[in-house]
Structure 1
Amino acid sequence: MQAVRTVFAAALALGLFASTSAVRAQDVIKVGAPLPLTGALSPEGLKQQRGYNLWAETANAAGGIKVGGKPYKVEIVYVDYASNTPRAVQVAERLITEDKANFLFAPFGSGAAKAASGVSERYGIPTIAATASSREVYDQGYKFLFGTFTPNETLIDPLTEIVSKGDPAVKRVAILARNDLLTLSLANLMQAAAKAKGLEVVMMERYAIGTMDHASAITQMRGAKPDWVFATGYINDLILIRKQMADQGVSPKVLTMIAGPAYKEFTEATGPLAENVSSASWWHPAVRYKGVDLFGTTEAFNAAFEKKYNVVPDYAEASAAAAGAILQLAIEKAGTLDPAKVRDALAAMDLVTFYGPVKFGPTGQITSLEPPVFQIQGGKPVVVFPAAVKQADFIFGK
């Protein structure tokens, strides 16, 4: 399927398509955004787009980005890579060489972000990854890649601590993982963390990208009799796994899924089956920060997002908006569009935004956040960690 290009001035954006006529006569900053707007990962891609749109529209409504005292409008150039990673790499290069993007947002997820990062590095274009958490993305020695997700173990370690301390009867763990960079990394970390806590890993299986039937793996899971099931995948994967677990009567004391339950679509699709499913994410609307970015506070960001989309933002949407806000702060600090100087401003950043404290480590991955652990209780996600934003205690099954 031929990539679908969407180019628009964010101040006038009403959806996927919008006119750019109002901004072409003005000075603009182009940000290239390769996204999976169709295909299996489209739910995630569309979420990122909503976050980017809100940031750009908010920035433009406030007069744009100030560069050396001169205002510039934000223009986001979207290209759909149809959930195909090799195509994401091609799109990233096209955005730089043909569309003349000043900066880039990375493709969705760790796998595509890693694959495309070599392109922006080669051209020296500062790139912010809003949904890439695996260390493998950042451990390439690159200087122009920055990410708003902490490493994967920051999700796994609090979970294993909560479960191992909370119920000594949880002893046997089954792991089912999508065979993709992020999801497999999470599964491997879970396996190591479980063993470190003295838990027995009775199953460690991976499934291929695009799998539409998990019955065989879940039959194996049922035979292993786990107390804790840990499944990784994207939202469509995990909805299917949760339903097929119910079909086969697999009902562990603890069911953890990353990353689908962070999205309201998971709860809507699984209904009562979502209850007590635990997860972790890099952000939650319950956090409260007062920042120096254009949104100012977490509450203000939440209100702006709900006003525009009529839903509460999730971590992917917030991270995308934060990526834009962070890029804006770096450009304004640098006082120029020179990519090397904006890159240096990103590397030196140490401040607070609505998303949380922002400081990047030596590899470009953010090191300053404490990701929350949550559980679906009463049909909605509630935070169970960290203590500063805790809303409820973790519930164990029988």
Structure 2
Amino acid sequence: MSDASVGGMDRRSFLSAVGLGTAAIGGAPLLSACGGLKGTGTSSSDVLKIGYVSPQTGPLAGFATADNFVVKQIQEALRNGFTSGGKKRTLEIVVKDTQSNPNRATEVTRQLINSDKVDLIVGSSTPDTTNPVADQCEANGIPNVTTIAPWEAWFHGRGGKPGEGFKYTTLFFFGMQEFADCFFPMWERMDVSNKNVAALWPNDTDANAFRQGLGPMMEKSGYTVVDGGAYQDGATDFTAQIAKFKESDAELFTCTPIPPDFQTFWKQAQQQGFRPKLATVAKVMLFPSEAEALGRLANNIATDFWWSPAHPYTSTLDGKSAKQLADDFAAATGKQWTQALGSVYSLFEIAIQAFKDASDPKDRDEVASKLRGMKINCMSGNLDFTAGPQPGIAIQHPVGGQWRKGERFPWDVVIVDNTPNKDVPVGGELKPTDAR
């Protein structure tokens, strides 16, 4: 697939969805907030360009469902421009698709830097995107913020030096401690006969961070990790892992596969009689499309929710609440909210704030410094990039939610445990995953 396909739409449909005509096709910037295209009477120094990189096609495309909508939201919020460095600025957003391929992520980031001449790059969704994007930005001195990747996989996976971090690249999300804070309380509330936890962790950057980080935390808390083994992404037969899990009598299950692999595994597990009492999954079942694909087998699968309409957060750009953003997304697209909606929105909030805070938004070093030193209360909550665990990383605190039959949409999320973040209200009781 090529850039002609964005989020499962052809280019013409995509441009229509974000309110642009087909004249924007080709070498010109794909998207332009406030009509700030070069050649419209606005000097190049008055135009600030943000490159946005995400997996709009391929196996990770579920993460990018809200991208088109978010870009249009940012367009609308900044239609009159904004002040930065004592001048009125307009914004251009150039969108690139990684096709769920880290090599392509590297390639399109280079395009943004060398051809599109962007001032700042934002990127989202799994280390397959965030790491290559950030590496290119760091190497080329481009301010960068990414999200939706465990901080350990982003930081250690890129050779970050503890206590020093990176000069140009920042991240907001969470890590193994926050996964533990989210999952362990749900495990503790489940009546199980043993503390064995079946773990489906493939051999990739994400899962190895869990194996090396969450695994020891589980053991320290008295749980026994039953590791199914470091298989390769794209596996089609999970019989060996399922047999191992059944033999251990594990009633708790966790995992970090790519979404298509989880769909395959979970169906095979049901067929082969592995039905854990509680499944708390990571990287998968984050979005409604995955629940719909599993049908009834999605019932009461639990995962981490770092953003939802129930989160009491608001936009720094127009004051819109999380619930309003989710409702607007449903009204505009006919689709259900996804938690990536809040994260991608905040990428742009943070980027705009860095521009506003800088005396010269064209000074890459200064903008990067503003990112590293930022404290912002935005659509993704209260983010502090100075607080650590490493410089330039802001931590979110996800809560536990379960998929249940919905009313407006086939499946919806019920927040069932708010131990890590009491600001988010609980909407229902924790139920066993195997309850049909």
Q: Give the TM-score of the pair, scaled to structure 2.
A: 0.81
Query: CA separation of 1:246/1:166 partners in 2, compared to 1, >3 Å: closer, same or farther?
Result: closer
What SS does the corresponding residue of 2:94 show, helix, strand or coil?
Answer: strand
Task: Give the whole-Å Cα distance in 2 for the aligned partners of 1:271 and 1:233.
Answer: 19
2:76 to 58, 61, 67: 58
CA contact (8 A) 1:234 1:258 kept: no
CA contact (8 A) 2:228 2:245 kept: no
Query: CA separation of 1:80/1:343 partners in 2, compared to 1, >3 Å: closer, same or farther?
Result: same
Task: Give the whole-Å Cα distance in 2 for the aligned partners of 1:150 and 1:121.
Answer: 21
1:39 maps to 2:58: yes
2:48 to 17, 29, 32: 29
Task: Give the whole-Å Cα distance in 2 for the aligned partners of 1:218 and 1:158.
Answer: 25
2:18 corresponds to which residue?
14
1:255 maps to 2:282: no
Task: Give the whole-Å Cα distance in 2 for the aligned partners of 1:189 and 1:16.
Answer: 45
| More helix per residue | 1
Note the alpha carbon deviations across 1:334-375, whole angstroms, 9 max, x for none: 2532222222222222231122112113421113x3211111
Note the alpha carbon deviations across 1:220-276, whole angstroms, 9 max, x for none: 323332111212123222222221111112111111221222200111111111111
Task: Give the whole-Å Cα distance in 2 for the aligned partners of 1:128 and 1:112.
Answer: 12
Q: CA deviation at 1:290?
A: 4.0
Q: CA deviation at 1:3?
A: 5.5
What SS does the corresponding residue of 1:169 show, helix, strand or coil?
Answer: coil
Q: Identity across aligned pairs (percent)? A: 23
CA contact (8 A) 1:295 1:301 kept: no
Q: Give the TM-score of the pair, scaled to structure 1.
A: 0.88
Q: CA deviation at 1:187?
A: 4.1
Alignment of 1:88-103 (within 5 A): 88-103=105-120
Task: Give the whole-Å Cα distance in 1 for the aligned partners of 2:82 and 2:75.
Answer: 11
CA contact (8 A) 1:50 1:317 kept: no
1:383 maps to 2:415: yes
Q: CA deviation at 1:120?
A: 0.7
Query: CA separation of 1:336/1:52 partners in 2, compared to 1, >3 Å: closer, same or farther?
Result: farther
2:333 corresponds to which residue?
309
1:199 corresponds to which residue?
223
Alignment of 1:275-290 (within 5 A): 275-290=299-314
Note the alpha carbon deviations across 1:141-195, whole angstroms, 9 max, x for none: 3121121212232122331133124435342211111322123323443422321
Task: Give the whole-Å Cα distance in 2 for the aligned partners of 1:51 and 1:181.
Answer: 29
Q: Which amino acid aligns with 1:359?
A: D
Alignment of 1:197-276 (within 5 A): 197-276=221-300
Query: CA separation of 1:189/1:16 partners in 2, compared to 1, >3 Å: closer, same or farther?
Result: farther
1:340 to 365, 376, 381: 365
Query: CA separation of 1:159/1:356 partners in 2, compared to 1, >3 Å: closer, same or farther?
Result: same
CA contact (8 A) 2:153 2:206 kept: no
Q: Which amino acid aligns with 1:384?
A: V
Task: Give the whole-Å Cα distance in 1 for the aligned partners of 2:344 and 2:401.
Answer: 20
Comparing 138-147 with 323-332, greater Cα deviation is found at: 138-147
1:181 to 182, 205, 230: 205
Structure 1: segments with no counterpart, 5+ residues:
none
2:383 to 333, 358, 369: 358
CA contact (8 A) 2:308 2:323 kept: no
What SS does the corresponding residue of 1:384 show, helix, strand or coil?
Answer: strand
1:109 corresponds to which residue?
126
Q: Which amino acid aligns with 2:401?
A: F
Alignment of 1:107-146 (within 5 A): 108-139=125-156, 140=160, 141-146=165-170
1:370 to 368, 386, 397: 397
Task: Give the whole-Å Cα distance in 1 for the aligned partners of 2:70 and 2:360.
Answer: 21
What SS does the corresponding residue of 2:217 show, helix, strand or coil?
Answer: helix
Task: Give the whole-Å Cα distance in 2 for the aligned partners of 1:122 and 1:101.
Answer: 15
2:352 corresponds to which residue?
328
Q: CA deviation at 1:211?
A: 1.9
Task: Give the whole-Å Cα distance in 2 for the aligned partners of 1:252 and 1:5.
Answer: 39
Task: Give the whole-Å Cα distance in 1 for the aligned partners of 2:301 and 2:211.
Answer: 17
What SS does the corresponding residue of 2:229 show, helix, strand or coil?
Answer: strand
Task: Give the whole-Å Cα distance in 1 for the aligned partners of 2:222 and 2:308.
Answer: 30
Query: CA separation of 1:146/1:51 partners in 2, compared to 1, >3 Å: closer, same or farther?
Result: farther
Q: CA deviation at 1:49?
A: 2.3
1:87 corresponds to which residue?
104
2:408 corresponds to which residue?
none
